[in-house]
Amino acid sequence: MRCRSKLTCLAATMILSAAIAVSGCAGGLSPSASAQEGSVLQDPPELVSQNGVLQARIVVAREQVDVAGRKLQALTYNGHYMPPTLRFRPGDRMELDLENRLGENTNLHVHGLHVSPAGNSDNIFLHIHPGQTFHYSYQFPENLLPGTYWYHPHPHPTSAPQVAGGMSGIIIVDGLKQELPPDLRNITEHVIALKDFQVDGDAIKTVPLEIGAPTNRTVNGQLNPTVKIRPGEVQLWRLANISANIYYNVQLQGQQFQVIGHDGNPVDRTFAADSLLLAAGARFDVLVRGGPPGSAQLQTLAYNTGPAGNQFPQATLATLVSEGAPVPPVDLPATVGPFEDLSNATLAAQRTIVFSETDNPDAFFINGKLFDPNRVDIQSKLNTVEEWTIRNESNEEHSFHVHVNHFQLMSINGQPHQGHGWQDTASIPAKGQIVIRIHFINYTGKTVLHCHILNHEDLGMMAVLEIVP
């Protein structure tokens, strides 16, 4: 199993040395950390828009935090390992000041949101220097889709160590519950933010990052928290993989998830799933119904990303406890929201995009090139639909992600795929390929597509996409 992090380690060691002390190998928590295991799930605090505007200030700093029952140095947003959820409605505006108190550059990406990539909006080419405060301004469209998104830093080449250090949080665009039947519009909802961390002494490890090393998987920064539900009660869970590198293959013992949204896109037809694969960066909005009195484990199942990838072991994430007075049964919805089906769209272009990699030294390529922010790799025209065949020539899966516009996943390894909506992240099988169709609407400017396994992104697996009028 290869570390896949040599260049990241070199760059991050140079940049982060003033902020992070590293002294040993990654490992699990000490036994003292188990004191908090089994505590009741805590949803993150929220910053909520008022009168159409969300005013927020986020301070980036290295601080000691309580995480999974232990005090550890971490890279934090507003002093928290699990930072505030940003919550607003379609058509709102967000005015956000990001203050950088780290000893390195950073910036902010609002993952999955359909918003301008230019200026002081979702511009990942910006670098906010130590000691600087930058003002971000986002005007969200009226037709922004309700669902679950997330935010994290995107500075090249140190995205992986910053996210692994703790810098990731949830975004909720309101309106999803209003798409449900009346009996379900006031149900309890929970953020299930999946974050993992490795430990180095008294700090969360940031360098060197070995993807397959032992790690601590948390929900909202808690170790195996308890989620309470009444028998028959229906809850909305916002499952989100907001970690730097790893995959989650999530299962709730003895029960099925009813999927109502994927990557912030309500589905046109809900579907039941025994398990859900959350590649790095992916999200699912699901309904969960309380079973008979008792408990069931929310687990991530063992998952292998290929001969050159990683074998992630099974682990318990949380425990669902069904107790109390039963709730009268209600029917789950069959549909949520329509989407624009691109199956019969007129195609302005068909492209082949190749993901590849080398070993010794580790390097990751798109179309044979390492990332260069000054080079435009793909130029696409606004108000057109394109079909991309994304081929993976490596022996491990990659988590494909594109900014600004979501896509429709058409096929996987030649087999037609019906996801019942659009998405912004998809796993490309080892030695396989996916075909997507993407409609470029509303916004022009330079943005990126990349592997959301952030070690791979930092090591070159990112390309510049320019959307032109």
> b vs e for 303-315, b when ≥16 Cβ sit within 10 Å of the residue's Cβ?
bebbebbbebeeb
Tens-digit pLDDT profile for residues 352-368: 999 999 998 899 999 99
| Residue 292 pLDDT > 50 | yes
CA torsion through residues 418, 424, 425, 431, sign: positive
More confident residue, 15 or 62: 62
**pLDDT over 80 at 106, yes or no:** yes
State the chain's mean pLDDT as an integer: 93
pLDDT of 37 reads: 74
Give the residue extent of every domain in the chain.
6-179, 186-322, 347-468
Same fold, 6-179 and 347-468: yes
Which 3-state string (H, E, C) describes the chain? Answer: CCCCCHHHHHHHHHHHCCCCCCCCCCCCCCHHHHHHCCCECCCCCEEECECCEEEEEEEEEEEEEEECCEEEEEEEECCECCCCEEEECCCCEEEEEEEECCCCCECCEEECCCCCCCCCCCCCCCCECCCCEEEEEEECCCCCCCEEEEEECCCCCCHHHHHHCCCCEEEEECCCHHHCCHHHCCCCEEEEEEEEECEECCEECCCCCCCCCCCEEEECCECCCEEEECCCCEEEEEEEECCCCCCEEEEECCCCEEEEEECCEEEEEEEEECEEEECCCCEEEEEEECCCCEEEEEEECCEECCCCCCEECCEEEEEEEECCCCCCCCCCCCCCCCCCCCCCCCEEEEEEEEEEEECCCCEEEECCECCCCCCCCEEEECCCEEEEEEEECCCCCEEEEECCCCEEEEEECCEECCCCCCECEEEECCCCEEEEEEECCCCCEEEEEEECCHHHHHCCCEEEEEEEC
Whether the predicted pLDDT of 90 surpasses 60: yes
Give 341-355 pLDDT, tens digit per residue.
999 999 999 999 999
Amino acid at 373: P
Residue with tokens 């301070």: 59
Is the model's pTM score more than 0.85?
A: yes
As a whole number, mean pLDDT of residues 332-347 equals 95
Torsion of CA 280, 114, 433, 311, to 10 degrees: 0
Do the beta carbons of residue 440 and residue 383 sit within 8 Å? yes
Predicted confidence (pLDDT) at residue 25 exceeds the cutoff of 90: no
Residues 6+ apart with CB under 8 A from 140: 88, 90, 91, 92, 93, 94, 113, 114, 115, 173
Q: What is the sign of the dihedral through the CA atoms of 443, 84, 145 and 259?
A: positive
**β-sheet bridge partners, residue 294:** 322
Provide the CATH number for the domain formed by 6-179 in this structure: 2.60.40.420
Q: Residue 276 corresponds to which amino acid?
A: L
Residue 32's pLDDT band (cuts 50, 70, 90): very low
CATH class of the domain comprising 347-468 = mainly beta
pLDDT over 70, % of the chain: 92
Spatial distance between the Cα atoms of 307 and 200, rounded to a whole number of angstroms: 28
Give CA–CA dist 50/40, Å, rounded: 29
Whole-angstrom Cα distance, residue 351 to residue 93?
A: 35
Mean pLDDT of 139-167: 98
The pLDDT-based confidence of 20 (bands split at 50, 70, 90) is: very low
8 Å CB contact between 42 and 220: yes
7 pLDDT more than 50: no
Backbone angles phi, psi at 462, to 5 degrees: -150, 145
- Nearest CA-CA partner of 186 in 226, 149, 233: 233
Report cis status (omega within 30 of 0) of the bond before 373.
no
Percent of the chain beyond pLDDT 90? 90
Residue 226 CB neighbours (<10 A): 15
Beta-bridge mates of residue 164: none
Distance (Å, whole) CA 224 – CA 68: 9
Tell me the CATH number for domain 186-322: 2.60.40.420
Specify whether the CB–CB gap between 111 and 150 falls below 8 A: yes
Average pLDDT over residues 24-33: 35
pLDDT in the model for residue 66: 94
CB of 336 closer than 8 Å to CB of 286? no
Model confidence at 36: pLDDT above 70: no
Distance between CA atoms of 365 and 370, rounded to whole angstroms? 5
Q: Are 371 and 462 in contact (CB under 8 A)?
A: yes
pLDDT of residue 21: 29
